[in-house]
Structure 1
């Protein structure tokens, strides 16, 4: 199956109210386990992928190592693979396009691309991030760009999330115009606000499933449900518990 065919098939899985479920993995072995369990696509999480190889999150795993791991994952499964690429390991558009072109060469047909400035509490201005999204799009016309905004994730006081909606919708519109394929809103758990984004945003919406159920996000109109670092954290806790239970 060609790159274009896999990418287009992955895009078609993003249906509002019938979301593609991405139970995030971190290496070829975990990808095979999820594929064998019936997954329709494979997605990495940046935190577990880095942690599984001894690195912290936040682009601490070297780009070459990340790309090598992505290639191993793609080669291990016969499913579309999307990779959490954080901030693209660059700020300037030209460097971004180069880095994403290397990711495309691994066979990954999608990526997460966030608007926080990695390693800080700051965000790229909307216009600059839109230019960056366009630079990602320049790497391949069929690449699925999950444009992530961390506004909700950074604001820990959920009572203030409603006030962030205008900027989130403005960012979503700008990212869509620049070539984004979907909008990811981690940190948002208010189902009414999620439903509003789903109805008012020009892109399919990706919800992070911490504190949410699939039934709830289906009702809200979500098109993509992902679990981020939760699967890896839960399995590492079980591993530790099993060791502690040894006699």
Structure 2
């Protein structure tokens, strides 16, 4: 039996960073796999938009679980899910939701520190550490391994990323100590800042970027994963709009 967790984890320790083109349904996942992807990963924004919801845990959690099951059942690749904050405020609810998602057969999940249900801002570091530890404990109790990609939304809190990098590093180190397997830092593509995080956080670093043209510069500073986030979905919508405009034109 193929160890999908190992395949996902190993992809973060290759010489060059791997490129994660994020999907929003089974059809887009199959197309991404056909083009040579090594991992299938979702974008919560793209999933929400495709269903008529806003991003930020508006999609019913039952659908998130169902989508995870459908993706796992329709690809030969490891599946990592954008789980946002796992739709939970308390630890009991978090553990319950983590169990539901892990039982679908996913190999990994993104777990963010943004306060989605209780206002703006981020979970205090020690609270998020408890939450990360609980997810890993749930996986252990189920006798499976899960690649927990800890996401911090610090860089979305302002434009002075140089002034925010200390908190990012502090969170990355704490999340690593708690058992996270990767560290996702969307919101900045400043090479010097990303390089500092790579050098000071003992986890594979994941960034969000639109295209593959700059992969070499990220390789040079040690980035291990490049995610498209919502950009693949947005590009798809733009291309569809252009095609429809051509087809429906009166000219």
Please report the TM-score for the alignment, with normalisation by the length of structure 1.
0.94
Q: Does 1:199 align with 2:184?
A: no
Q: Does 1:227 align with 2:247?
A: no
Following superposition, the deviation at residue 166 of structure 1 comes to: 1.6
Following superposition, the deviation at residue 167 of structure 1 comes to: 1.2
Please report the TM-score for the alignment, with normalisation by the length of structure 2.
0.92
| Distance in 1 (alpha carbons) for counterparts of 2:81 and 2:4 | 14
| Distance in 2 (alpha carbons) for counterparts of 1:220 and 1:14 | 14
Find the counterpart in structure 1 of residue 181 from structure 2.
181
Show structure 1 runs of 4+ deviating over 3 A: none
The alignment partner of 1:139 has SS state of helix
| Distance in 2 (alpha carbons) for counterparts of 1:68 and 1:215 | 37
- Structure 2: where are the runs of 5+ without partners? none
More deviation, 138-147/15-24: 15-24
Q: CA RMSD for the aligned pairs?
A: 1.5
Number of aligned residues: 242
Following superposition, the deviation at residue 94 of structure 1 comes to: 2.1
Q: Does 1:45 align with 2:46?
A: no
| Distance in 1 (alpha carbons) for counterparts of 2:233 and 2:136 | 30
Deviations 1:57-81 (A, max 9, x none): 1000000011111111111110000
Following superposition, the deviation at residue 38 of structure 1 comes to: 0.6
| Distance in 2 (alpha carbons) for counterparts of 1:49 and 1:75 | 18
Q: Does 1:124 align with 2:123?
A: yes
| Distance in 1 (alpha carbons) for counterparts of 2:163 and 2:53 | 35
Deviations 1:180-229 (A, max 9, x none): 11110001111011111111111110011147721121112101110000
Find the counterpart in structure 2 of residue 139 from structure 1.
138
Q: Does 1:32 align with 2:33?
A: no
Following superposition, the deviation at residue 17 of structure 1 comes to: 5.1
Following superposition, the deviation at residue 16 of structure 1 comes to: 6.6
Find the counterpart in structure 1 of residue 88 from structure 2.
90
| Distance in 1 (alpha carbons) for counterparts of 2:161 and 2:230 | 22
The alignment partner of 1:71 has SS state of helix
Deviations 1:103-124 (A, max 9, x none): 1111111000000101532111
| Distance in 1 (alpha carbons) for counterparts of 2:66 and 2:209 | 28
Deviations 1:143-171 (A, max 9, x none): 0001000011222x1xx211212211111
Following superposition, the deviation at residue 89 of structure 1 comes to: 0.4
The alignment partner of 1:83 has SS state of strand
Find the counterpart in structure 1 of residue 216 from structure 2.
215
Following superposition, the deviation at residue 15 of structure 1 comes to: 2.1
